Amino acid sequence: MSKPYPQDLRDRAVRLVLETKDQYPSEHAAIKSIAAKLGIGTAQTLTNWVRRAEVDAGARPGVTTAEAEEIKRLKRENAELKRANEILKAAASFFAAELDRPHTRS
């Protein structure tokens, strides 16, 4: 899934909000104004970017982007290991059954 907005635009928009929010009556007003000026579809999109940046900076509680990526990587790895384990269990059962069968000599 590609992101519709380039990372440099996202970074610039967040930086503008954080640097100029004291010039607006509220943070939401700053976000709405900057989103409109930069052509960002909705103010909620920019709000999400600002919240993510605050979490990543440690100014807001939550899971950082790096931690979320690590969790996703570990979940993928865990799923892959579970699949491999199931294959090994099936192979072990197969070979155990082969050993239990009586063999005829030719």
Does 1 have pLDDT greater than 70? no
DSSP codes joined into one string, 40-95: -S-HHHHHHHHHHHHHHHTSS-S--HHHHHHHHHHHHHHHHHHHHHHHHHHHHHHH
- N-terminal to C-terminal alpha carbon distance within the chain: 60
Confidence (pTM): 0.70
Domain range list for the chain: 1-62, 64-106
Q: Model confidence over 43-99: pLDDT tens digits?
A: 999 999 999 999 999 999 999 999 999 999 999 999 999 999 999 999 999 888 887
Contact 80, 73 (CB under 8 A): no
Q: At the topology level of CATH, where does 1-62 sit? A: Arc Repressor Mutant, subunit A (1.10.10)
Residue 105 — very low, low, confident or very high, per pLDDT cuts 50/70/90?
low
